[in-house]
Copies of this chain bind each other. A is one copy, B any other.
Amino acid sequence: MEAEHHQEASNAIGSLGSLYVKVMTDEQMELLRQQISVYATICEQLVEMHKAVTTQQDLAGLRLGNLYCDSLMACSGHKITARQRWTPTPLQLQILERIFDEGNGTPSKQKIKEITIELGQHGQISETNVYNWFQNRRARSKRKQLAPASNVEPEAETEVESPREKKIRAENVQVIQPFENSSSPHRIKDMYIHSPDLGFEQLMSKIEVAGCYSSYFL
């Protein structure tokens, strides 16, 4: 049980430089691509359906997790307050990410205000939140290049060392996938926009198909 380590791979890949590589055939790659695409579409549509269904029956404020503290929370007896610190809703996050991707820099004071107002449509938020978010976002996206694994594995690994002991991190991915203006999330949107009214049953069947494919990878 030994693993083939290809040292020269680091040069080929460049600064990313991982010594371990996985190999996929075009076939597998295509399959993957299909599957992800299917899932992405399904998820988006399901979300829309869910929204549509829930919107008609619930009142705006209910969405906040205030209701859940009824049974389970009551007995334990700690505070009912939600979170102390702000947490962006998915929708807010999406908008923020978009702005960040195109914004190219630190949003001005005025920008912040606008953004805050816009995001206010989707949940409680303050300018400080937005400000902090951009601060952190920028700082952390910058720290991505700092960890190109030092896989100079010596033969010292005598035990049943398995290469799976790897770190995976979003920052690393961003290196290979600098989604700037080009690889925007618009693709996904477009996808489900183009297929307007899929029946629920159709979605279900697609899920089955997708699940079938994915079983290989899971």
Please determine whether A90 and B201 come into contact, CB atoms closer than 8 angstroms.
yes
Judge whether A85 is part of the interface by a CB distance below 8 angstroms. yes
Given A22-B25, A36-B36, A126-B194 contact (CB < 8 Å): no
Please determine whether B215 and A164 come into contact, CB atoms closer than 8 angstroms.
no
In the complex, what residue of chain B is closest to A38 when comparing beta carbons? B39
The complex is assembled from copies of this chain, and their number is 2
- How many Å from the CB of A195 to the closest CB on chain B? 3
Given A126-B147, A126-B149, A179-B216, A168-B36 contact (CB < 8 Å): no
Q: Can you name 17 A-B pairs with beta carbons within 8 Å?
A: A12-B23, A27-B166, A39-B40, A53-B53, A62-B197, A68-B179, A78-B218, A84-B167, A86-B165, A89-B204, A90-B205, A126-B150, A127-B146, A173-B213, A183-B216, A185-B211, A188-B211
The contact string, 1 if C-beta is below 8 Å from chain B, for chain A 13-57, is 110101011111111111111111101101110110110011001
- How many Å from the CB of A142 to the closest CB on chain B? 13
* Interface size class of chain A, counting residues whose CB lies under 8 Å from the partner chain: 35 or more
Residues of A132-176 at the interface with B, using a CB-CB cut-off of 8 Å, are 146-147, 149-154, 156-157, 162-169, 171-176
In the complex, what residue of chain B is closest to A153 when comparing beta carbons? B124
Judge whether A110 is part of the interface by a CB distance below 8 angstroms. no
